[in-house]
Structure 1
Amino acid sequence: MTRIRRIRRMTALLLGGAAMRLRAAGLPLLAAILLTQLAVFAIVLPVNQWLFREALRAVGHSGLDLAAPIRPEGVPFTIALIALIVLIAFWAMALQFVLFTVLLSSTGERPAAREQRRHLALVLRKMLRPSALPLIGYLFFLLPLTGFGFTSLLAKGIAIPPFISGELGKTLTSWLVLVLFLFVLGSINTRLALTVPIFALTTATGGRASRLSVRLTRGAAPEWGIVFAVATVLALAALAAVALFVVALLPTLLADTIAPGAAPAVAAVSLGVAQLITLVLTGGATAAIAAVLVHAFGVQRAKLPADVRELAPSGAGGAERLALSGRVARGGRGAVVLPALIVCAAVAGSAAFTAAGWNTLHRLHAAPDTLVLAHRGFSDGGVENTIGGLEAAAAAGADLVEMDVMETKDHRFVVMHDANLARLAGEPARVADLTLAELTEVAVTDLHGNAGTIPSLEEYLLRAAELEMPLLVEIKLGGNDSPDHVERLVAEMEGLGVLDDHMYHSLDAASVERLKRLRPDLTVGYTMAFAAVEAPRTDADMIVVEQWTATDEVQRSAERAGLGFFAWTVNDTGSMRDHLRRGTDGIVTDHPDEVVRLRGEMADRSGLAAVLFDALARFVTLG
């Protein structure tokens, strides 16, 4: 048998076994999916958010601001609270995975509820021991970063931030490094895929479960069989999400046409039900993946060392039947209690989501008036931060151009983002070590095939004035900045008569404060690579938040504080639509033409179906 045939056979075996286990688990598994998902959404997430707010307040922060000073006396309490947050999230996520694994561990007659409770109690005791802590790295690092395996609401935001992956993607070498890094992580994750089943079904500790997983997945057939089986589950779940998306839209489309007055109520109910089904669908995908991995463990369990024992029998027939089929026991009080519990939880969840959906739809209904800012110009027509990029952004219909200003060796200014010339010019020299005359002779190119030269600030400002294009000027630090670099920048722009024509922002809090002291009338933004919970305390007029943490929660906090809210760098269509509907004040993007087009479409459409579409896009997702 060839390697490919062995892999195909293993994939089919795992998918067939997973389907059998899901059928055998039946209503108890459905109840576990629904109740654990609602518990995470309604209890664990709010509790952890409250704890995080308290952790920030202990060091004198209202929101997460990495550049703000901290109160030293509050650090120990903050560290303790963050450790508690991690442990709560870990236990909640691990409990869900373990519960699914225990319910799926039998393929014979379903074990008695008392036996399953005893098994679960044994695993919970293991989870409370320090030997379970190695699972934290697996559940909170490998799984979310690679997107392969279990999914959880608690790990949804764990990923490589777009501003990091976006910058790495601007050179071929760094892009290849990123791809290699993710491939290595994915390979490691595949070999560790049986960690949770081994931990939940045997006496192995967290660290040993990981090592045993590596042993049991050795070989092309088990490793690639798991990969293809899990990929199949995720693909089917994605198709189910698309189907849910379409079905949820249909009632509102009909209401828009037949009974517009009823459309708001129909849309709110559709959104509420869709959100509940999404929670179940996400949990169902997790359970299906668990079924694949539990069956893979059953197939490979003969490779376990003799000193590793099973925690509990796996149903009628015992351990030897783990990889075989059987029948499901039926009847008993569970036949009445479980359906009633599921119905009650579903009704309560739908009602809560519908109430929240009504407010969401009302807020998203207004036509967007968000400003579109071309990030460093528009790379479709010119290299970033060059005259060509500026002109291309104007042609694309951008409202403003975001650009970067950096000080030179002779204390003049050029339009440049990087502190060195390696990425755009292939030279190792630093901007701070070259004069204005030297820098403006440097040729730059990009991966789109564009070419140009580094412009002086004066050249760029004068061309922007000719194009009647306002700018969002970012004050960058190059590593050798003069103490009065903000004053120098203000003086140069005042000398050209254009200081009042533009807006300003910076990652450097000191530069923001100095500019506001010099010219309180200017519109100045504080740029944040990371934000959380609430807007920071700042003298700025707005905050400019990286897309990864530019959440609705932070945006509403900024509005309450009287601050404008810009998001950068928003490059995917879903996020563009989200920020347009949310009323984000400005979207900084590499694709200004696309945001301009979407803004126009949203302004022209009537009815609630389009609004519901965008609301569903925010919530009806897997993971």
Structure 2
Amino acid sequence: MKGIFLFAGALIFIHTAAAQQHAAQLPVTKNKFVVIAHRGNHVNVPENTVAAVEATIQAGADYAELDLRTTRDGKLVLMHDATVNRTTNGKGKVSDLTLEEIRKLVVSSKDGKTYQVPTFEEALNAARGKVNIYLDFKEADVTTTVQQLKAAGMEKQVVVYLNKETQYAPWQKTAPAIPLMSSVPDEVKTPEQLQLLLGKIHLSILDNVTDSAMLTIARKLHVAIWLDAQTPTEGPAEWDAVLRKGVQGIQSDHPEALVNYLNKNHLRDGIIFR
């Protein structure tokens, strides 16, 4: 994940009541060390599709990372980019197209099969009871998102990645039990600054902490660290580098290979540093 949660002035201006809240508990997983399929498992099928969710389940990953956006008529769909240009045969911004228009598009694929841009509801139905959702909250209404999570019975099977400072308060107010995740802002450079930040902004997961002293603070405050391993050469070298940091999860473009590697090396519980 490359997004940055920009807490401009957050250490001063966050409301006292928010500071008193505790970070929400993470969804239950059968593995202590979690594997996240980036945009769903899209090795053989298109990203952010129902097929990618199903492939995530088949791979044995713990989370499908999915990107949420809103159509012109207020419907929630999966799409990483702001436009449909890269991943479909259409053109234009998601926010400028109706759901009907988006549903007529064909998602680009390697296997020659026909795929549609899925609604959020369809993705949730595919995941329910089988895999957790790591929801990259691009552009959507919090209340509508929570309503659909509850309707699908998925409110305890989701973590929400925040891309903007303004997304924090609505999620805390509307669904305080749903765990939130983001990146440490660039201006937070020391363990002391991180501890102060996490005392004011209650996140359950961070995705960009690699410094050993700052990792110690995260462990002390029971904040999970899930690091990205997606590179053109992603494989054991990248995975081992993450594992040696003693973090709790990896986001991968090759989740099945990663799961197999972890199982083979008895690392599904990670490397524990005491």
Q: Which TM bucket (shorter chain)? A: 0.7 to 0.9
The answer to whether the 8 A contact 1:569-1:587 is kept is yes
SS in 1 for 2:207: strand
TM-score, with structure 2 as normaliser: 0.76
- Kindly provide the amino acid, as one letter, of the partner of residue 69 in structure 1: A
Change over 3 Å in CA distance of 1:470–1:576 after alignment to 2 = same
For residue 143 of structure 2, what is the aligned residue in structure 1?
487
Structure of greater relative contact order (alpha carbons < 8 Å, 6+ residues apart) = 2
For residue 406 of structure 1, what is the aligned residue in structure 2?
69
Change over 3 Å in CA distance of 1:409–1:389 after alignment to 2 = same
Change over 3 Å in CA distance of 1:379–1:560 after alignment to 2 = same
Structure 1 gaps, min length 5: 1-64, 72-367, 605-610, 612-623
Change over 3 Å in CA distance of 1:67–1:550 after alignment to 2 = same
The answer to whether the 8 A contact 2:5-2:164 is kept is no
Change over 3 Å in CA distance of 1:532–1:600 after alignment to 2 = farther
- Kindly provide the amino acid, as one letter, of the partner of residue 131 in structure 2: M
Larger mean CA deviation between 588-597 and 439-448 belongs to 439-448
For residue 174 of structure 2, what is the aligned residue in structure 1?
518
The answer to whether the 8 A contact 1:370-1:580 is kept is no
The answer to whether the 8 A contact 2:133-2:159 is kept is yes
**Number of equivalences:** 235
C-alpha deviation, 1:379, in angstroms: 1.5
For residue 158 of structure 2, what is the aligned residue in structure 1?
502
For residue 216 of structure 2, what is the aligned residue in structure 1?
556
* 1:159-558 equivalent positions in 2, closer than 5 A: 369-446=32-109, 452-465=115-128, 468-477=130-139, 485-527=141-183, 532-534=189-191, 535=194, 536-537=197-198, 538-545=201-208, 550-558=210-218
The answer to whether the 8 A contact 1:513-1:539 is kept is no
RMSD: 2.7
- Kindly provide the amino acid, as one letter, of the partner of residue 88 in structure 2: A
C-alpha deviation, 1:457, in angstroms: 0.5
Change over 3 Å in CA distance of 1:426–1:443 after alignment to 2 = closer
1:67 maps onto 2:26 in alignment:
no
Q: C-alpha separation between the residues in 2 aligned to 1:426 and 1:533?
A: 46
Q: C-alpha separation between the residues in 1 aligned to 2:189 and 2:258?
A: 25
Change over 3 Å in CA distance of 1:397–1:433 after alignment to 2 = same
TM-score, with structure 1 as normaliser: 0.35
Render the CA deviation track for 1:384-429: whole Å, top value 9, x for unaligned.
Answer: 0001111111111111111111111111200111110111114331
Change over 3 Å in CA distance of 1:583–1:369 after alignment to 2 = farther
Between the aligned residues of both structures, percent identity stands at 22
C-alpha deviation, 1:449, in angstroms: 6.4
C-alpha deviation, 1:595, in angstroms: 1.7
- Kindly provide the amino acid, as one letter, of the partner of residue 168 in structure 2: V
Richer in helix (by share): 1
Q: C-alpha separation between the residues in 2 aligned to 1:421 and 1:508?
A: 22
SS in 2 for 1:539: coil
